[in-house]
Structure 1
Amino acid sequence: MFRRRPADNSEDLLVRLGSLTARARELAETQRSRVELAVALQRDMLPSDLPSFPGARLAVRYEPANHGLNVGGDWYDAFSLPGGQIGMSIGDVQGHNIEAAAFMGQVRVALRALASVTGDPGELLGRTNDLLISLGADLFATCTFLRLDPAAGTLECARAGHIPYIWATTDGRSGIDDSEGGPPLGVLRGVDYPATRHRLTADGVFVLLTDGVVEGPSLHVDEGLDRVTRLAGITAVAGLDVDALATAVMKLAATVGHEDDAAVLVVGHDGGPARSAAEE
C-alpha cells in the first residue's frame, strides 16, 4: 500500500486555501461594487440642490446606509408648484438593496410628474399609488407629501404609512402631526389618502424625516420624535437657522443603535396673515 506523502497533503491544502481566498476576495469585491453602485444610484436620484422660495428656507441632511449590502431607498425632495406654492416629499422604500434604490427614483419622479396634474396631496398620493401598482413592482414605499403656500399661509399634508412630521413656532408651540394617513404606496389599488389643511399664523419650522433618524434598537420612535420636537421648539424660539436644526436632528440618528438610511428635510416658514395662533 502506498500513502501520499505529507508534503503533498500540505501542498493540496495550500492550493485549496489559495483558491478559497481568491474566491472570497472576488465575492468581497463584487459586494463592494454593488454597494458603491447602489450608493451612487441613490445620490444621483436625489436633488443636488434645493430651490429657493420666497417666504421659506430649506435645509436637508442625508446619510445612506452603506454597511455591507444594507443600502436603502430613503429620499427627500422639494420643488416649485404653480402660484408660488412648494411641494415637498420625504419617504422610505422597503428593502436595502439596489432594487430599493432604483424604486426610490421611480416614486420620486412619479410624485413630481403627477404634482403637475394635481397639487392636492391626498389625490397626488392616490394617483402615485395606482401608478406604482400598475408597474408591477414588488416593493412599497412610505411617504409624506406637503404643499406649502407661504403667501397664503397654508399647509396641506397627506401621509402614506410614513412617520409624522414635526412643527414648531416662534411663539413657543410645537408638536407632532396627528393627521390621519393611509397605507404605504404600492400595496392596495384605489386607496383614498386623506389630506389635512392647516393655517400658519406664526413663523416657525417643519421637520420631515425618515424612521432611520428616530427609531432603532437603542431608541423608541416615540422618544425619537419627542427629542426632535424639543429641538425644533428650541430652534424656533431662539431664531436659529434651519441648517443648524437639520444638523442637530441628524446627530440623533447616531443614537438609534442601527445602520439605516437617514434623511431630514427642515423647512423654515414665515407666518401667513398676522394672527396669534400657530395652527388650526
Structure 2
Amino acid sequence: MKSLIHDETAMHYVLAGSKLPTLLFVHGADINLTYWDAQLAYFADQYNVVALDLPGHGKSGRDKKQWSVKTMGQYVATFIKSLNLEQVILIGHSMGGDVNLVAATTYPAPVIGFIGIDNFKNAGQPLAPEYQQQSKEIIHNLHTDFANTNEQYARMVLLTPQTPDAVATQVVQDYRSAYQPMTIDVIEEVFNDLYLTERELLPKLPCKLHLINVDYMPTQEEPLQQYATTGYTFHHMAGTSHFPMIENPDELNKKLDEVIREIRQESNEKA
C-alpha cells in the first residue's frame, strides 16, 4: 500500500505489474479498493495495474469540509499526473465511472480507454419524479440515522434477495461504516445534479465508452445514443447485484479481458 498527498489529503493506492497499458481501477461510493482484489490479481501479469481509495474512502484522507464527484475526479486526474501513468485505461464502478468521467475530460492526454462497470444505466437523466420524494426522505434519514438508512439504501437499490450472503454482508458492513459527511454530500449530488455532469462531459470523452452492466437492473440505451457521442459498446452480464467484481469475479475478468483487447486494438489503429 502506497500513498500520495494532494491538497493535504492522502490518497492510498496499490500498484502491481509493469507492462503497458495501465489499468486504473476506481471503486464506487462507500466501498474501497479491496473490491478489485480479484481483478488486480488476474491482470497484474499482463499489465500495469493500479487501484486507489478515493478521498473519504478506505485508507485515504477524510480531511475535507465538502465532498463531490467532481472533486474526486480532479483528484484522480492529479493522481495520474503525479504517478506519470501512461496509456491509461480507466475502469470505474458505479460512482467511480462518473469520477473517471471527470478525470478523463480534465486530463485526457494519457487516456486510451474508458470502461464502466454497472454504471451509466440511465445516463444524463434526472431522477424520475416518482422517486424524488423518496430521495429527500433518504437524505433526511442519513442525517438522523446514518448506518441503518445507508444499509436500507444498499439493500433496496444495490442488492437483491438473491444476492449471495457473503456479498450482501460485505456491502452492508461497508455501507454502515462509511464516512457520513462524504456519503451525504455525494448522494445529494447523485440524486440532484450528477445527471447534468454526465450530459456535459460524456460528449467530451476522449475515447469510446465501454460498459459492462449487470442485468439485475436494466440499462437504457437511448440516453447513451444521445450523449456518448464518441461511441459506446454495451456488454451484458448476468447477476443479482451491483457488485460483479465480488459476486462473479471470474466472469467479470473475462469480459474485462475482451474489452481491454478491443481498446488496445482501437488505440493501435489510431496510432
Regarding TM over 0.5, the answer is no
Alignment TM-score, normalising by the size of structure 2: 0.31
- Between Structure 1 and Structure 2, the one with more strand by share is 1
- Between Structure 1 and Structure 2, the one with more helix by share is 2
Alignment TM-score, normalising by the size of structure 1: 0.30
